[in-house]
Structure 1
Amino acid sequence: MSAADRGRVARVVVADDQAVVREGIVMLLGLLPGIEVVGAARDGEEAVALTAELGPDVVLMDLRMPRCDGVEATRRIRERHPGTEVVVLTTYADDDSLFPALRAGARGYLTKDAGGEEIERAVRDVIDGRAGLSPAVQRRLLERLMDRDAPDAPDAPVAPDDRGDRSDQSDRRDPNGRGGRSDRGVAGDDGLTERETEVLVLVADGLSNTEIAKRLRISTATVKTHINNLFAKTGVRDRAQAVRYAYQHGLVRPPGKRVT
């Protein structure tokens, strides 16, 4: 049973060196059900100290901070306090920011344009042992994984799959509701319905549940049901694994791959 199912309050420390940003995040989190902000840190040193003092479930960690940056603070927290997870919340999503943070032990990574729902989901995901990654970060990790020549590619929160890539094409309605031949492949013998496949493709495209609901003209509750069903049928545990599944089975093309 997940933390959310148990009604557990997630205890969070916010670390950001900009007072206005830090106070805004604290205010936003205070409006979210099931999240309690127990401390706020002005830099990495304070974040480590507050973690030792308060034992939060999650630290929302900025990266660019004085005295001790977010990467070093994440490394210290994960080494000294393994019961506390770290979700990076930063302006930057470049490789030089993303991969060092993940290597240091961050289980989540969001950019500061994330809304309250996305932050809450990431907090819950990392508490429950899943990766709390924004759709854009998931896609970046998939790009890196698919570049076999990339040096020191980090381990991503995705499951291995030995079924290989499939590029079979089939006639079906595409996720935008238009009929005719789609330029995307189809999954294998996984039992996905046409609608579940459409939802999977849109997840791989980086859309949130709300955006998928608007695109397909269905409720967000229905989207969640489809996602739960396709997770169960494909054996994936989170959205990052679902994105990789979609790439491996030819449902979406790697960024930059041209149609011939």
Structure 2
Amino acid sequence: MMRIEKIRLVIADGQPALLTGLQAWFEARGRYCIAASAKSPGQLLAQIDDARGDVIIIGDALGDSHEVLRALRERHPHTPVVVLTSEFDPRTLLAMQHAGARGIASTRDELSELGRTCDRVLSGAEGVVSRRIAGFLQATDERVVRQAFDANAVYGRVRTRARPFSAIT
């Protein structure tokens, strides 16, 4: 079934230029309307109850995104939140997901990628990340696997080798 009404967005970011740019881009698409916009966590939390947004987009210029995510989860647990971030540290990105972000996009992504992330989150998907964020997470996973155990690593002056071992019972 095709959605008739526009998707209501709540957008919050501490950078006014980014906030204005996001509003203009989404409104130009025709599928979206801006239900509320905020420049600070306090302003966001004050407006969120009346806004009745379908999706909340928060930028990392708001400050501690983990605290904002927790507050949003407490007040509006069913409204999906997408984080727009400049972070690329996998631990930080995973912490955002654990704090309640259903989607994460990079500030370096094209805005169409942020739009796709929002669409996927609206469809009910969780743990949605943009391609760039997925690349950060995948590159780190591969590096962690390689660093986890190196069969030919030299530890001090002791060289280790991995050999198959089978126990006879």
TM-score strictly above 0.5: yes
The letter for the 1-side match of 2:80 is: E
Indicate yes or no: 2:50 matched with 1:53: yes
Query: Deviation per CA, 1:11-56, whole angstroms, max 9, x where unpaired?
Result: 1111111111111111111111311111111122222222222121
Contact 1:15 1:40 in 2 (8 A): yes
Q: Structure 1: which 5+ residue stretches go unaligned?
A: 151-260
The letter for the 1-side match of 2:130 is: S
Identity %: 27
Task: Give the equivalent residue in structure 2 for 1:43.
Answer: 40
Cα offset, 1:83, TM superposition: 2.2
The two structures, once aligned, show a CA RMSD in angstroms of 2.3
2: CA distance, partners of 1:97 / 1:33: 33
Q: Counterparts of 1:170-189 in structure 2 under 5 Å?
A: none
**Helix, strand or coil: the match of 2:35?**
strand
> What is the TM-score when the length of structure 1 is the normalising length?
0.50
Indicate yes or no: 2:99 matched with 1:107: no
2: CA distance, partners of 1:130 / 1:107: 8
> What is the TM-score when the length of structure 2 is the normalising length?
0.74
RCO higher in 1 or 2 (8 Å CA, sep ≥ 6)? 2
Q: Specify which of 3, 10, 13 is matched with residue 6 of structure 1.
A: 3
1: CA distance, partners of 2:4 / 2:114: 17
Q: Specify which of 130, 133, 140 is matched with residue 137 of structure 1.
A: 133
Contact 1:14 1:40 in 2 (8 A): yes
Change (3 A) 1:8 1:95: same
**Helix, strand or coil: the match of 2:53?**
coil
Aligned residues: 145
**Helix, strand or coil: the match of 1:64?**
helix
Rg (Cα) greater in structure: 2
Q: Counterparts of 1:67-106 in structure 2 under 5 Å?
A: 69-106=64-101
2: CA distance, partners of 1:59 / 1:30: 15
